[in-house]
A and B are shown apart, each in its own frame.
Chain A
């Protein structure tokens, strides 16, 4: 495949071994600009290992990572991620937490704050600039963590089960909010989850991973556009997808 690829983010045959053990094998995914793609799989299927390869924390044993067609395999500083743990630093205010990636890129503190604060309203965080993380609820903290991820990435975000620690009601709200924000900011997202409902509700496409070693077995496209997913989880179509996915996972 040429480096003239038009995909925003692409992995080509990523394989990761630790010693003798192969954790993931031949993972090839492609994500287009503004697309939201989920990696769905049980724990231990190597989803997080793949993330670490994409973000550059790990140098994969084989394969390449392409961002806008450029080879970024094994290099950090291009793609950031967000975990279930919000990883907001308790000793920094929300604006400084959110602006941290900009600071790391060499921006001054004032500039970073200014640029971060431009997005606070969009992310429903207005008024929290000067607060510390412990003063915010779990849902708000995840929003702040998402804004940080967004400010860092070249419009690509990796999200590793970001909402799985939230209670059902907060989760429902944040899903709705997330779909709204995604629409506005046109972020390209790779989303790890083991929650089938969440995957169907939020994704354009779903890659289903099975282990071990972790490999991609199926790719499912959700036909209903993301903008029309209000109450989608109560429709027959949703249930059909769910049945299909459960069938695959049970194989």
Chain B
């Protein structure tokens, strides 16, 4: 019963994706939308295969920027959260500024970054750091602050140091928030990298995009859009895998499985 449930859970999104593809195919096949504006799924796939190696070489650049930027943004975000949790003046001084920076849209700041840091990797990495920083710092800080006061007191009664309280209570308590922040972040990072490349650069999926746009090769445009979403999905999936590895206690079942019971009632 459980297995069929899981199977039907997978079949629904599959059907909806298939329906969208069919609709898309129909729109271009019957030329409801002119073909030069909306290439068919087949044309998109062909464009993808035709430019595969070129796409991969650009992807390499984009991915490198994404990884460097994300790692830096996550580290800076995490360390800031630690600092703000440890030292209240830092919290009071930094928090409003962090929120304020988030009111500036990435699209608006990206051209400036290109202007300041040139066409190489620097502006892309800086933009990604700015994008990643916020969800991490806010999530992790919330995690630190929501740690159970009674548990902290218990450890204090055992004579635990600040570091031990951090290590055994605050840090693990912030892990779920950290990972949900990271999941949002990796998808945004790819988009951020592409956006910065759009505005100026020598290589990367964004650069490829501006080039094919100028030559009105919409099939290639679609191909690169798909590549970007696939890459984002893979990164999100990787974060989930990492989360499962880092939080094994989330994987065990409780003695009474409430979720399963709900399913039975529903079915």
Listed in ascending order, the chain A residues whose CB lies under 8 Å from chain B are 52, 55-57, 76-81, 83, 85, 87, 89-93, 100-101, 103-105, 131-132, 134-137, 152
Q: List the B side residues contacting A91 at CB < 8 Å.
A: 172, 175, 247, 249
The 9 closest A-B pairs by CB, nearest first: A77-B159, A55-B157, A91-B172, A132-B249, A101-B158, A91-B249, A104-B160, A76-B159, A104-B158
Select from chain A the residue with minimum beta-carbon distance to B255.
A135
Q: Are A83 and B150 neighbours in the complex by a CB distance under 8 Å? A: yes
CA distance A85 to B255 in the complex (A): 19
Q: List the A side residues contacting B157 at CB < 8 Å.
A: 55-57, 76-77, 79-81
| B244: Cβ under 8 A from any A Cβ | no
Q: Are B168 and A89 neighbours in the complex by a CB distance under 8 Å? A: yes
Counted as pairs of residues, one from A and one from B, with CB atoms less than 8 Å apart, the total is 66
Given contacts A87-B150, A87-B151, A89-B151, contact A76 B158 (CB under 8 A): yes
Q: Are B252 and A87 neighbours in the complex by a CB distance under 8 Å? A: no
CA distance A131 to B175 in the complex (A): 20
Report the interface size for chain B: residues with CB under 8 A from the other chain.
22
Determine how close the nearest CB of chain A comes to the CB of B68; give it in whole angstroms: 30
Given contacts A76-B159, A100-B168, A132-B249, contact A87 B154 (CB under 8 A): yes
| B260: Cβ under 8 A from any A Cβ | no
Determine how close the nearest CB of chain B comes to the CB of A103; give it in whole angstroms: 8
Q: B residues 163-220 with Cβ under 8 Å of A?
A: 164, 168-169, 172, 175
Q: List the A side residues contacting B169 at CB < 8 Å.
A: 89
Listed in ascending order, the chain B residues whose CB lies under 8 Å from chain A are 148, 150-151, 153-160, 164, 168-169, 172, 175, 247, 249, 252-255
Q: Are A76 and B253 neighbours in the complex by a CB distance under 8 Å? A: no
24 contacts between A and B (CB under 8 A): A55-B157, A57-B156, A76-B156, A76-B157, A76-B159, A77-B157, A80-B154, A80-B157, A83-B154, A87-B154, A91-B172, A91-B175, A91-B247, A92-B168, A92-B249, A93-B249, A100-B158, A101-B158, A104-B155, A104-B159, A105-B158, A134-B249, A135-B253, A136-B255
Determine how close the nearest CB of chain A comes to the CB of B144; give it in whole angstroms: 15
CA distance A78 to B158 in the complex (A): 7
CA distance A152 to B160 in the complex (A): 12
Q: List the A side residues contacting B159 at CB < 8 Å.
A: 76-78, 104-105
Q: List the A side residues contacting B172 at CB < 8 Å.
A: 89, 91-92
> Told that A76-B157, A135-B253 touch, could you supply 12 new A-B pairs with CB distance under 8 A?
A56-B157, A57-B157, A77-B157, A79-B157, A81-B154, A87-B148, A89-B169, A89-B172, A92-B172, A104-B159, A135-B255, A152-B158
CA distance A81 to B150 in the complex (A): 11
CA distance A105 to B69 in the complex (A): 39
Q: List the A side residues contacting B175 at CB < 8 Å.
A: 91
Determine how close the nearest CB of chain A comes to the CB of B47; give it in whole angstroms: 47
Q: List the A side residues contacting B156 at CB < 8 Å.
A: 57, 76
Q: List the A side residues contacting B150 at CB < 8 Å.
A: 83, 85, 87
Determine how close the nearest CB of chain B comes to the CB of A108; give it in whole angstroms: 14
Given contacts A135-B254, A137-B255, contact A90 B158 (CB under 8 A): no
Contact of B254 among A57, A79, A134 (CB under 8 A): A134
CA distance A111 to B53 in the complex (A): 54
Q: Are A90 and B249 neighbours in the complex by a CB distance under 8 Å? A: yes
Given contacts A57-B153, A80-B154, A89-B151, contact A104 B254 (CB under 8 A): no
CA distance A90 to B147 in the complex (A): 12
Select from chain A the residue with minimum beta-carbon distance to B151.
A87
Determine how close the nearest CB of chain A comes to the CB of B224; give it in whole angstroms: 41
Q: List the B side residues contacting A103 at CB < 8 Å.
A: 168
Q: List the B side residues contacting A78 at CB < 8 Å.
A: 159
